Each structure stands twice: as C-alpha cells, then as structure tokens.
Amino acid sequence: MKLLHVIPSINPAGGGPIEGIRQLRQPLRERGAEIDVCCGDAPDAPFVRASEMNVVALGPTSTKYGFNRRMLAWLRAHAADYDAVLVEGLWQFHALAACLALRGGKVPYFVFTHGMLDPWFRERYPLKHLKKSLYWLLGDYWVLRGARAVLFTCEEEQRRSRNAFWPYRCRELVAGYGTAQPPTAAAPLREGFLAAFPALRGKRIVLFLGRIHEKKGCDLLVEAFAGVAGADPRLHLVLAGPVDAALRERLARQAERLGLAQRLSWTGMLSGDLKWGAYHAAEVFSLPSHQENFGVAVAEALGCGVPVLISDKVNIWREIVADGAGLAGADTAAGTGACLRQWLQAEPAAQARMRVQARDCFQRRYEVRQSAQRLLDIVGERPSLAPADAAAARPAPASAATSATPGGTP
C-alpha cells in the first residue's frame, strides 16, 4: 500500500499533526506501506532538508491560508500513484486542493480533523467562527462530504465535532492515535536533563511540555501551582516548549505577582534525550488545556510512567481516568488546583500505583502500532455507504465524572 499525507507544513514547531505522521511512519512501513508527505513548505527549509521522511515540498506559500497552485497541480498529476491520500487538518488550502484533485477519481482520501472542529474555537473566537462558517459552506463542508471517511482520534473528539458547523454530513470513523514507546532508561535520561538544568536537581517537578499557547491553559497552571506551592518548598513548575514573547512575558508577570518567580523555570523547546529526560525527571505532568483533541505529550508522559493531571477538555480524559492513570478536572484554575492537591495529598502507595497504571494505559491504548494497524484497516476496507449518504448524527455518550482518586475509578 502506498499512502500520501497532505499537510500545510512539516515544521515541528507546528505541534501534533506532523509529529503524528512521524510516529506513524515506521509502524506503517513495518506493515508494508510506503509513505510520502506533500506539504506547502519551501524545499530549502531546514526542517525539510533534515526530514527523515520522503517529502514533496511545493512552497513556499505567501498567504496565511496557504493557497498554492503548485500543490493542486501536483496532486492532480500524481494522486493516481497512491492507494489513498490522508488529509491532515482543515481550514487551509491543502484540504480543498486534495478534494478538488481527487473528486471523481478512483483514489480515495481520508481527513484527520485533528480537533479543528471543536466548538471551543467557536466560543473563544466568535468573529473567526463567522468567517469560518462562510468558508465551511464554500470549502471544508465539501472536503468532508467527499472524503471516504473523516477520522477522529477518539469518541469524545467525534462527539464534539458534530455541532460546530452546519450543515454537517460525512462518514465518521474513530481511527485512534498514538505515539512510539518512549525510551525507558530513566536514570541516564533524567541525569542528562538535570545536568542541562542543574537548578532543578532535587526539585519535585510539575511539568508542562508542549507548544505554549493560550488554549493550553498555562495561565491556569501558574495560578493553580501558586495555590499548592506552600505544601513543599521543593515543588517546582517547569514550562517546556516554544512560546511567543508576548505570552511568555504575560505568564512571567503572572508568576512574579503570585510570588513564583523563583519556582518557575522555562526550558524552551526540548527534543531528543532532553525531552525524554524532562519526562523522567517529572513527578507529574499537567495539561489544563481548553481544547485538545488528543495530546501527544499526554501519551508520551504516560509511556514514561508519569501520571497526568489534565482538563476535561483533553478528549482522552475519560479513558485515562477510567484506567487510573491520571486525574481530570475543569479547565479552570480551581479545577487544575484540585487535581494538584489531590495528587499531593495521595499516599505514596497510591502515587506509585498510578505510575504503574500510567504505563499500562499507554500500552493498552496509545502505543502507535495499534493506531497504525487501525489506519491500514480503515484505508483497506470497502465502505458500505457512499460518504454523502452516511449518517452524521448518533447519540452522544453519557457524561462521566471528571476526577478520580489516584489508582481508583471515575
């Protein structure tokens, strides 16, 4: 099987979608699939030249929307070389280009929405939503309707996506998502991280790792951490990841106002052994996001045996709480603080049990070989319904409690 991913950019600073492609590449190859990636980046971009993937770079593009005639022409000329095309994300020209190039042809395309239909964006950016609503009618509605299937990482993402835009008509499938088993040599990785950041030695680290963006709720984490910092002077908050200057300044001012200037560390973007060392040095991982369709960093933390404290807007929270691998609360400072306090007040035996259950949860649900096989099964199946005739609405799952005791049940 030969598959083509179509994505606006393979820049690793862009977060989850390109990391997901990278993680899927090897297990798909092990199962006999060949993988190419088509993007709108400039061919001489450093991350393109350094990529281990087979990349067709057709940029640069000059607009935020990513309009690119070369991509449309290339897809029309080369789509027949592939068994299927995987469209990564919405709201940019690459998705419409795939739809226009493949409609009426024999090569099916599938769309990963990557959480981009979540209603949080409508609530947080109402003016942008109005603009998107117009584009939905002209573009992405038809992209989804023409797809062989629209793929979601979990049932929660699928459920939340249904009411964001009207009309909504597509064939929905839960494909899952995952990442490779992280390195398990905890001691040397931890030591390498602490050697790079010696001020963190001996600290009880609460770790955020990922792209630092307003939707991630880092302001909630800083406020919540201030409420528990007095429990132990060794507690230390680490924010690891790329951040724009304005947001960093705002968070730094917040920390200083709350008396946390010496209890907060910034590492910048981490990769390789330093990234894995940060996980293994952490006592607990926190992501109080306002919207997260999956959260690769959450899965990575679980794979390192690090319990996760997340919001109930991280779409895999139900499964994590059910497995006793973490705690979930509202995406507020109070909800984030409640998770931190619950962790800190837990008995050592309960904390140790949660660490074991974190690894078990990762292996059972989020190890990438499982999602790779599921994707191949989906691509290789013959749907019984045409995409436009598939039912779009199904009953939503019942709501569940948003917290759990360490090692317990929801």
Q: What mean pLDDT is predicted for residues 118-122? A: 81
pLDDT bucket at 15, cuts 50 / 70 / 90: low
- What does the H/E/C string look like for 94-150? HHHHHHHHHCCCCCCEEEECCCCCCCHHHHHCHHHHHHHHHHHHHHHHHHHHHCCEE
Q: Is the pLDDT of residue 4 over 80?
A: yes
Cis ω for the linkage preceding 167 (within 30 of 0):
yes
Gap between the Cα atoms of 326 and 298, Å rounded: 10
Name the helix (H) or strand (E) containing 275. helix 272-281
How many CA atoms lie less than 13 Å away from 357 in the CB half-sphere?
22
As a whole number, the mean pLDDT across the chain is 90
Tens digits of per-residue pLDDT, 201-255? Answer: 999 999 999 999 999 999 999 999 999 999 999 999 999 999 999 999 999 999 9
- pLDDT the model gives residue 405: 38
| Domains identified in the chain and CATH numbers | 2-177+370-389 (3.40.50.2000), 186-366 (3.40.50.2000)
Q: What mean pLDDT is predicted for residues 327-338? A: 98
Contact 278, 240 (CB under 8 A): yes
Q: Is the pLDDT of residue 51 over 90?
A: yes
Contacts of 389-392 with CB under 8 Å at 24 or more apart are 390/169, 390/170, 390/171, 390/172, 392/162, 392/168, 392/169, 392/170, 392/172
Gap between the Cα atoms of 259 and 264, Å rounded: 10
Gap between the Cα atoms of 171 and 169, Å rounded: 7
DSSP string, 212-254: --GGGTHHHHHHHHHHHGGG-TTEEEEEES---HHHHHHHHHH
Q: Is the pLDDT of residue 112 over 80?
A: yes
Q: Is the pLDDT of residue 304 over 80?
A: yes
Tens digits of per-residue pLDDT, 136-176? Answer: 999 999 999 999 999 998 888 899 889 889 999 999 999 98
Q: What mean pLDDT is predicted for residues 111-135? A: 86
Gap between the Cα atoms of 320 and 322, Å rounded: 5
Q: Is the pLDDT of residue 14 over 80?
A: no
Q: Whose CA is closest to 36, among 72, 1, 77? A: 1
Among 5-19, 271-285, 320-334, 393-407, the minimum mean pLDDT is found in 393-407
Q: Is the pLDDT of residue 351 over 80?
A: yes
Contact 25, 104 (CB under 8 A): no
